[in-house]
Structure 1
Amino acid sequence: MFLKGFLTNSSGILTSRILGFFRDLLTATTLGAGMYSDMFFVAFKLPNLFRRVFGEGAFNQAFLPNFFQARFRGGFALKIAGIFCAILLILSLFVCMFSEPITKILAFGFSQELIESTAPLVAINFWYLLLIFIVTLFGAMLQYKRNFTAWAFSPALLNLSMIIALFLAHNSDSYTAVLMLSYGVLLGGIAQILLHLIPLYRLGFLKLLYAGFKELQSKHVTDRIKSINGSVKVFFKQFFPAMFGSSTAQIASFIDTLLASFLVSGSISYLYYANRIFQLPLAVFAIATSTALFPLVAKYIKQSQESNALKALSKSFWLLTILLSICTLGGISLDKEIIWLLFERGQFTREDTLICASVFSAYLIGLLPFGVAKIFSLWLYSRGQQVLAAKISAFSLCFGSAISLILMQYLGAVGLALAGSISGFILLFLTLHFFGWKPFLRTLWNPKFIILTFVLLLLEFLALLGFKIYIFSL
């Protein structure tokens, strides 16, 4: 069951990333790299940030454990939906009414004329927040039944919708193209919701939500409403720390960009390009593994079957360790070749390739610890320790920022990437400390997987060595 969930999630993420690459390529072709592309990226900034922070784990980490334990699951899910939808609806209307001052905050350096042109785009794109919340809620409910297909492939529909909008806007003027792209975002959100309705209906969740509506309308307020309100209160106590914990990567990226602005020209670009490639194996393997594993671990913890939860963690740990180790060794060995293949053309010179490759290698050092920390943090989330997980993330973020200030003085952009990897090791160490070293060492001690990992890495090393000596090397 876990392997099926992992393969579904990883294939869905990979499909979405490939379509995302074509979307970026088509955006660059249609809008170029100038005023109109800047307008869209500013307008899409908040919805995209919300999707990454809220959709990629934070909501699930608080919702699923409480959904498992709620006595009245329909009423609990419906009340959470009502609260969030009401807040997001009010926020979206507020943004529509005050779109110009909000655009000024998002793009402080824009001229007044450019702000006036961008403001309607900000108002349009902001409605995607409401749509992606509904998608996230439906996806979390489906994960309760270990159904991942709609959740895994729905981001691909967003990219596909934006690609279609760009194709339709190919012969239009640039501002019309940006407008069509913004409406494409909303149509993508609607398509994501519709995709989830099919398995929701098939698995009986629509009936559950209807029963939840009746539970909330019940005149017998005593036990039923108190139980639902109690579950909702516990959810919000866990949600905000989980949201902070999930946003540390975005905060770290923002801090790196800020610090890189004090370095030589091009440093911000090196970090951006290298991090884009680094995020691919992290998403395809680590996020896919944690998404497939979390409902299983949460269910076992709820049923007081900790031994089964540890077995599931052990299997996923070795799967992730093997996959990420292969990616790390391959990426560091072929760092220059990868950057050359993807970016070295036009204004991106050979010198840029060499520097960006070093940044990429520095990021890859932290790939394994970041990925492994993600699955062991599920143990804390399943036990309702979201606050502890958020404190661990905050400490690793602060430690990494302090190291960045030191290393950037000597290594420039490479130092910033290396500091990020060091913070990944701190994150893993603290997560394992609170998980427990004894159960971790029992997970680690598996002679069969240790030998398999060593053999695979040795074979990969020999293959890469032969490739670089006899076939191609930069």
Structure 2
Amino acid sequence: MFKSVFSNSSGILISRVTGLARDILMTSTIGANVWSDVFFMAFKFPNLFRRIFAEGSFTQSFMPSYIASRQKSVFAVAIFIRFMGFIVAFSLLVTLFPGFFTKLLAWDWNAELISKTAPLTAINFWYLDLIFIVTFLGTLLQHKEHFFTTAFSTVWLNIAMIASLMLFAHSDPKTIVYALSFSILVGGLLQVATHLYTIRQKGLLKLLVGGWKYRNRKDVKDEESKFSKLFFPSVLGNSTAQIASFIDTSLASFLAAGSVSYLFYANRIFQLPFAIIALAITTALFPSIAKAIKNENHTLAYQNLHKSFWLLSALLGLSVLGGMLLSEPIIWLLFERGAFTLQDTLNTADVLRMYMIGLIPFGLAKLFSLYLYAMHKHVKAAKIAAASLIVNILFSLILMKPLGAAGLALAGSIGGAVQMYLTMREVGWKIVFDILKSVYTLYFIFGVALFWGGFYSLNQYLVHLIR
């Protein structure tokens, strides 16, 4: 398991580092202003669906059905055709009516801002088609316990965007955001090409060809029906954070200019430890838990859960301390240059601190939900996610006026805490308490106290230097 975690984490780390390099270059090129808000808003729609597909919902509904399938190749191709047809049709609809869909994102924006954003929305949305192909192929690779290609592939997206920023660095903001939008599609094509190469190397191309060849000769309707019943609850269960972020972006359009960008940049920092640690561990863990439960080996499933809990808690705990106590120096170091000012740093740091409060709750909710999905309790996971989302939205509406963008981030963390509590309760407090009885609990408490003192002292020194 830990070999898979390391492979997945290393690929994610490389992709996130290049993503930070991209964001650093972006802040110095266009800063936090109207045009950056326009671009991020246009990219929000496909990015929402990308995260829903790529961060669990498709894989966690497809994998158990695929493992149990008697006609794996035919089943896989049948699901691909169904989803790809729907996504292409949806993309055409967005292309034909981009203004309408843009207005759904930013209902408080005036007609001028909508007209600026709509063409970019139409361009960016086609990235969803490409990322679904990547997610589908990546899930097949995960079944073979190969994680690096999917984790690494986002590097191509970042490289494409960095290249466009460098080529058009001295152009006007409108030209830059259009160049960025087209570069996203180039990056998506490179991601697809990388996965197709690995699929061929792993000998899975024959599986897809065979599934296409015999798709009308073998009946997999029952398996498709079972998958459909699992998929939609899985979408809701896995997309709480993404839907909340989507809503936050829309609500931020009611706030001061730059608020959308503050949320974006702070969330990028938050997503770094979440992806490298939480997503890497849970993604690598899910196939082994699903196979163990299918074989009725619950002892092995619990052992993997126990090990992953403490690894996840330790690494995320360290990240929370660093992110909260060093928020201002981190934002200053990464983003404060060019068009990104000191005030932008302070505003983004406030948002980052609120996001970091929810890092451990979101990570542990992700971990324990694996057991629910492996047990085919997708509906229960969906109900838990819906409850946490409602709490998130309520607190967003309450906190956005007094705290601004930081209030929206804090509301997300509160929703994450609710999701963690409800997920643990459903898995069973006995399992949770058995894990907490470990001697690692004392190590964790001691480590938190030790690193808190160290990070606090370092922050005081760095802030003094900055100011």
**Which TM class, normalised by the smaller chain length?**
0.7 to 0.9
Please say which of residues 208-217 and 277-286 is displaced more in the overlay. Answer: 208-217
Alignment-derived partner of residue 373 in structure 1: 365
| Alpha-carbon spacing, 1:378–1:37, altered in 2? closer, same or farther (3 Å) | same
Question: What does the per-residue CA deviation read over 1:225-281, in whole Å, with 9 as the maximum and x for residues that have no partner?
Answer: 0xx111111111111121122322133234445556677787666555443322221
| Alpha-carbon spacing, 1:413–1:229, altered in 2? closer, same or farther (3 Å) | same
CA displacement at 1:132 relative to structure 2: 1.0
The alignment status of 1:90 with 2:82, answered yes or no, reads no
CA displacement at 1:185 relative to structure 2: 2.0
In the TM superposition, 1:35-434 aligns within 5 A as 40-99=39-98, 102=101, 109=109, 111=111, 115=115, 121-170=120-169, 178-218=177-217, 224-225=218-219, 228-257=220-249, 271-342=263-334, 357-406=349-398, 414-434=406-426
Output the TM-score relative to the length of structure 1: 0.85
| Alpha-carbon spacing, 1:102–1:333, altered in 2? closer, same or farther (3 Å) | closer
Structure 1: state its 5+ residue gaps. 219-223
Identity of aligned residues (%): 48
Alignment-derived partner of residue 221 in structure 1: none
In the alignment, which of 435, 441, 448 is matched to residue 443 of structure 1? 435
- Secondary structure of the residue aligned to 2:215 is helix
Output the TM-score relative to the length of structure 2: 0.87
What amino acid does structure 2 have at the position aligned with 1:453?
A: F
What amino acid does structure 1 have at the position aligned with 2:274?
A: L
Structure 2: state its 5+ residue gaps. none
| Alpha-carbon spacing, 1:14–1:259, altered in 2? closer, same or farther (3 Å) | same
Question: What does the per-residue CA deviation read over 1:62-88, in whole Å, with 9 as the maximum and x for residues that have no partner?
Answer: 111111111111001000111112222
- Give me the whole-angstrom Cα distance separating, in 1, the residues matched to 2:461 and 2:266: 27
Please say which of residues 162-171 and 429-438 is displaced more in the overlay. Answer: 162-171
Contact 1:104–1:110 under 8 Å retained in 2: no
CA displacement at 1:213 relative to structure 2: 2.5
Contact 2:61–2:373 under 8 Å retained in 1: yes
The alignment status of 1:453 with 2:452, answered yes or no, reads no
Contact 2:28–2:339 under 8 Å retained in 1: no
| Alpha-carbon spacing, 1:438–1:213, altered in 2? closer, same or farther (3 Å) | same
- Give me the whole-angstrom Cα distance separating, in 1, the residues matched to 2:249 and 2:34: 21
- Give me the whole-angstrom Cα distance separating, in 2, the residues matched to 1:188 and 1:296: 31
- Give me the whole-angstrom Cα distance separating, in 1, the residues matched to 2:27 and 2:295: 51
- Give me the whole-angstrom Cα distance separating, in 1, the residues matched to 2:193 and 2:82: 21
The alignment status of 1:3 with 2:2, answered yes or no, reads yes
| Alpha-carbon spacing, 1:6–1:266, altered in 2? closer, same or farther (3 Å) | same
| Alpha-carbon spacing, 1:175–1:409, altered in 2? closer, same or farther (3 Å) | closer
| Alpha-carbon spacing, 1:57–1:162, altered in 2? closer, same or farther (3 Å) | same
- Give me the whole-angstrom Cα distance separating, in 1, the residues matched to 2:236 and 2:42: 23
CA displacement at 1:217 relative to structure 2: 3.2
Question: What does the per-residue CA deviation read over 1:341-391, in whole Å, with 9 as the maximum and x for residues that have no partner?
Answer: 445567877676566545433332222121111110001111111111111
- Secondary structure of the residue aligned to 1:204 is coil
- Secondary structure of the residue aligned to 2:239 is helix
Q: How many equivalent residue pairs?
A: 464
Contact 2:38–2:117 under 8 Å retained in 1: yes
| Alpha-carbon spacing, 1:215–1:122, altered in 2? closer, same or farther (3 Å) | same
Contact 1:321–1:368 under 8 Å retained in 2: yes
- Secondary structure of the residue aligned to 2:455 is helix
Contact 1:242–1:389 under 8 Å retained in 2: yes
| Alpha-carbon spacing, 1:213–1:406, altered in 2? closer, same or farther (3 Å) | closer
| Alpha-carbon spacing, 1:333–1:240, altered in 2? closer, same or farther (3 Å) | same
CA displacement at 1:138 relative to structure 2: 0.2
What amino acid does structure 2 have at the position aligned with 1:216?
A: R
- Give me the whole-angstrom Cα distance separating, in 2, the residues matched to 1:176 and 1:418: 35
- Secondary structure of the residue aligned to 2:309 is helix
Please say which of residues 309-318 and 20-29 is displaced more in the overlay. Answer: 20-29
Question: What does the per-residue CA deviation read over 1:281-332, in whole Å, with 9 as the maximum and x for residues that have no partner?
Answer: 1122111111111111111111111111111111111100000111122333
- Give me the whole-angstrom Cα distance separating, in 2, the residues matched to 1:383 and 1:41: 37
Alignment-derived partner of residue 454 in structure 2: 463
What amino acid does structure 1 have at the position aligned with 2:325?
A: S
- Give me the whole-angstrom Cα distance separating, in 1, the residues matched to 2:350 and 2:35: 32
Contact 1:332–1:364 under 8 Å retained in 2: yes
- Give me the whole-angstrom Cα distance separating, in 2, the residues matched to 1:36 and 1:177: 9
CA displacement at 1:181 relative to structure 2: 3.4
What amino acid does structure 2 have at the position aligned with 1:79?
A: A
Compute the RMSD of aligned alpha carbons: 3.3
